[in-house]
Amino acid sequence: MLYFLRKREMVRMKIGILLMASALVTFLQSGCAASGNALPADEEPTISDPENRRITKMNTEMMPSLLVNAIPMPQWLAEREQACLDQSVPGDEAKIRLVVDLAVENVRRGTGGPFAAAIFDIKTDRLVAFGVNVVVPSNQSWAHAEMTAFARAQNLRKSHSLKGCMLVTSCEPCSMCSGATPWSGVEKMVYGAPRRMAEKVGFDEGYKGLLWSPAFKKRGIRVVGPLLGREANAPFELYKQKNGEIY
């Protein structure tokens, strides 16, 4: 029975990743078109055409920056990140308090949902990047805090792998973000509020199976959480008070 549960869990996770990848491809294609680098619809591209090769190369090079820049970081968060960049934040609870504070600030300022995340270097405890949920202001369903943190950290490190890093998130990741975590390369995950706190407000966290944490451990990703108890619920309480949009 345990075998079938694990197999079903992995199938669901793979389906989630495929859907997410499809959405990202569509987004990047639309971004390239909006940037003015796409070919007119009535022109057929040919490999032998040097101009078409130049445009293709340009679009390929633009993809990482398109993904990061098309989801603009709130100005206040950019300033906080710059102030904290490369600072050491020892201890899991201290890191969680930091991202919970970011989630509260994101709600208070009206710049997104009640979720925040950060990427830290495991050995030094130094900050690599911040991320907050900007689904509504960006009109992008994938722009969860963990996803924006992954994208920004990988862009800053100029690598698709965050090996040697940890993900610190204000709430237990949803099915999409959980599915993306192993592919991000992080080796540790620390989270604050359990998913039921997000679901209590009305958010749909998706299905990821009961064995997601042991599955992460098998992939070499240590999971720590939930942490801080009621304190980690502060972003959701404020979001509810402000009648924030549920999605």
For 66-117, give the secondary structure using H, E and C: HHHHCCCCCHHHHHHHHHHCCCECCCHHHHHHHHHHHHHHHHHCCCCCCCEE
Which residues carry out catalysis? 146
pLDDT of 105 above 50? yes
| Distance, CA of 71 to CA of 67 (rounded, Å) | 7
- Is the model's pLDDT at 163 over the cut of 90? yes
Q: Is the pLDDT of residue 237 over 60?
A: yes
d(CA 100, CA 227): 11
Q: Evaluate whether 28 touches 67 at the Cβ level (below 8 Å).
A: yes
- Average pLDDT in the chain: 83
Tokens (6 digits) for 132 = 């907050």
For residues 111 and 136, the answer to whether their CB atoms sit within 8 Å is no
Would you state the structure tokens that stand for residue 196, as one six-digit string?
């039921």
Give the whole-angstrom CA distance, residue 156 versus residue 158.
5
The stretch 84-100 carries a mean pLDDT of: 95
pLDDT tens sequence across 28-73: 444 444 444 444 444 444 444 554 444 444 444 444 455 555 577 8
Q: Is the predicted pLDDT of residue 205 greater than 50, yes or no?
A: yes
Render pLDDT for 107-147 as a digit per residue (tens, 0 to 9).
Answer: 999 999 999 999 999 999 999 999 999 999 999 999 999 99
Sorted by where each begins, the domain ranges of the chain are 2-69, 75-241
Contact status, residue 213 vs residue 223, Cβ threshold 8 Å: yes
**What are the tens digits of pLDDT across the range 206-231?**
999 889 999 999 999 999 999 999 99
What CATH class has 75-241?
alpha beta
Percentage of the residues of the chain whose pLDDT score is greater than 70: 72
Q: How far is CA 78 from the centre of its chain?
A: 16
- pTM beyond 0.95: the answer is no
CB 95 within 8 A of CB 127: no
Quote the CA–CA distance of 222 and 189 in Å, as a whole number: 6
